[in-house]
Amino acid sequence: MKKQSNRSLLKSITLCVIAFFTINLSFAQDKAKQIDQLLTQYSQYGLFNGSALVSEKGKVIFKKGYGSANMEWNIPNQPDTKFRLGSITKQFTALLIVKLAEDGKIKLDVPITTYLPDYPKETGDKVTIQNLLTHTSGIPNYTSAPNFLQEKAKNPYSPADFVKTFSNLPLEFKPGEKFAYSNSGYFLLGYIIEKITGKTYEQYLQEIIFTPLKMVNSGYDHSDVLIKNRAAGYEKQGKKIINASYLDMSIPYAAGSLYSTVEDLYLWDQALYTNKLLSEKSMESLFKPYILMGDGGYGYGWFLSDITIGTKEKVKVIEHGGGINGFNTNISRVPSDKILIVLLNNTGRALLGEMTESIRNILYNQPFNQPKKSLAFELLEVFSEKGIKSGTETYTKLKNDPAYGIKEGDMNNAAYQLLQTGKIKEAIEVFKINVAAFPNSGNVYDSLAEAYLKDGNTKLAIENYKKSVELDPTNENGKKVLEEICKKQ
């Protein structure tokens, strides 16, 4: 047998390498095409208006904008468009706290009064930093307070003054006893950062995260500051789009006041695989499931879950969403395959979780659900303009149409819009449709109960609140309202 020359061998290896990268590039291009087709369809149905980025094995395979960053001027969304992040902010706040702990400037297992001596001791002595990080403090969530949007959301506050608006409220449960998502906890973490560092939350965030990672298109949002390429926020009322209501950005603070781009969030994602910001041990602490929920749990500013994709073994998914006036957002990571999916939307309440799941299935070469038109958009328009009879007829006509889908969140939002415009009877009918479609969701019964209560039907309000609490034992607000109703009887 003739021995192959070194030159021939090198040529063969080179051709194999080229073929390997060509095949991989082809797969990536095919996935990018499918992702684009998916998001284009969502956009055409009025279900997505924003920017997206997807990376696989640490490399960006897709990024693109859809719809308008500014609808008045018809300025398109781009990968460098800046969006308000809402609760994605929490993962940045959590890292800053862990950084302080790593530097020996804070302990996570001590009462918050250690760093906030003016906080009421009756409750503050019982709550630890760890409780704040994991939403187990029992401190009431300030955004759930009655009339929050009308009375507080539009006014500027210093961190110290805003803490006083909820610090004297009684705890909803014994700290550490249960998980209850609370923006108040992360607001306090921001305030504690300021107390310890002597810097503003914004300054410390810039110094520790944004500057080292060269995240030049990210920052703390201010309504009065001119920020280049910032998207305007909008809300959907069925098929109609309006400007989002004003929110003073001192209110979300360390729980939700940051803005960023899909490209900058990719830089953030990549840094989380390194020790640029924290030691390996500290970095790992962000992603431990301190609170267990179903097939996952909650770490420090991240939801954690184990998901089975097709025939593949379970993969660990680390993600968090955000919602703030005019915007909703989602960042989802699969560390084992260095996958990142970022979706930033500026028309509020888009079905980003559903979209993320479909994109993830595309990446793993699995079947995925195609977008469907929102039945809620159609029903809101008809119930609002033509009344219950026409609305019910439209529902009967379209409910089995494969082009339309009944989405729990969309239906709930449509019903609440009817409720807020005084169309209580119409709202009840839409809530009832949602209950029929999602009979195992505690949230839909809670919403229907609220509408019945507003309509003066105490009996049905109690019946539905009880059902809601039965299906969702974590529904503290439902329990509270139920107790108040029963006291009055």
Interatomic CA distance for residues 136 and 340, integer angstroms: 28
pLDDT at residue 14, rounded to an integer = 59
- pLDDT at residue 28 in the model: 81
Total-model pTM: 0.89
Give Cα separations from 189 to 100, 160, 193, 324, 342 (angstroms).
Answer: 11, 12, 6, 19, 25
Distances (CA, A) of 411 to 376, 434, 440: 5, 6, 15
C-alpha distance from residue 17 to each of 4, 6, 9, 21, 23 (Å): 18, 16, 12, 6, 10
* Domains of the chain from N-terminus onward: 86-363 (3.40.710.10), 373-488 (1.25.40.10)
Q: Decide if 75 contacts 67 (C-beta within 8 A).
A: no
**Whole-number Å distance between alpha carbons of 481 and 402:** 38
| Residue 401 CA: distances (Å) to CA of 39, 47, 375, 435 | 21, 18, 10, 19
DSSP for 6-53 reads HHHHHHHHHHHHHHHHHHHHHHHHHHHHHHHHHHHHHHHTTS--EEEE
Could you tell me which residues are beta bridge partners of residue 320?
Answer: 331
Cβ burial 167-187 (10 Å sphere, 16+ → b, else e): beeeebeebbeebbebbbbbb
The stretches in the chain having pLDDT less than 70 are: 1-26
* 3-state SS, residue 400: coil
Q: How many CB atoms lie within 10 A of CB 98?
A: 22
Residue-level pLDDT at 21: 47
Rounded-to-integer distance, Cα 345 and Cα 349, Å: 8
Look at residue 488 in the predicted model and tell me its pLDDT.
Answer: 81
Q: Are 238 and 199 in contact, with CB atoms under 8 Å apart? A: no
